[in-house]
Amino acid sequence: MLFRYLGIKMKKLLTALLITASATAMATDAEIKSKLQALGAKNIEVKDSPVKGLKTAVTDQGILYVSENGQYVLQGKMYELTNKGPVDVAGKLLADKVNALKNEMIIYPAKNEKYVVTVFMDITCHYCHILHQQVKEYNDLGITVRYLAFPRAGMNETARQMEAIWTSKDPVFALNEAEKGNLPKELKTPNIVKRHYDLGVQLGVQGTPSIVTSTGELIGGYLKPKDLLAALKESAQ
């Protein structure tokens, strides 16, 4: 009986010690953020991950996975194995962040929509001009084009012009006019544009146009309508 009693007491003591050790080993989100900042990461957002023991960190250098004690960092793709096939966990997270700004996008919808892409664009970007000139061709192929603002030089005069476009009564008309060279005369403080820009940096956007697919895949650079359609078909397989 004595050994049984001691065994029960010892088991309770070990359990308590393990719980205490686990609790002290856990790093706070702020501590994880501080460690990643020391490595040079910026625009850090720490979230829970679908894997027990790991945290997800969305940074300007992409998605990172950090152990809950903050001592280990993983970089790379993580897939959820579903009945429909593997799903890129990071891609879904990024797609959700993009879709959260849907009400702030300038959208050119396809009548027979098959795919949706979100384009980070700059009104001074040559290849953005080319892409916009062909927006009807993308639409005709079933591709809805949604624009977010990404002034490449940061919050400068172009950013203030883009804010005026995105906040106008008819943003589609205002953007079409800007693409013809008729830029807005009124400049506005870039609040919406700053949100778009910060998200682009967080997603790893380094130039324009940058295209985000509905699965969160980032395609850097301009693609002709038929080439984009082919890329979207391949991505969907």
- Residues carrying an active site annotation: 122, 125, 128, 152
Q: How far apart are CA 150 and CA 209, in angstroms?
A: 9
SS (HEC) of 170-202: CHHHHHHHHHCCCCCCCCCCCCHHHHHHHHHHH
Q: Which of 207, 213, 200 is nearest to 126 (CA)?
A: 207
Q: How far apart are CA 161 and CA 189, in angstroms?
A: 9
* Number of helical (H) and strand (E) elements in the chain, helices listed first: 9, 11
Cα dihedral sign for 156, 190, 170, 205?
Answer: positive
Paired strand residues for 220: 210
**Could you tell me if 226 and 141 are in contact, meaning their C-beta atoms sit under 8 angstroms apart?**
yes
**Could you tell me if 33 and 46 are in contact, meaning their C-beta atoms sit under 8 angstroms apart?**
yes
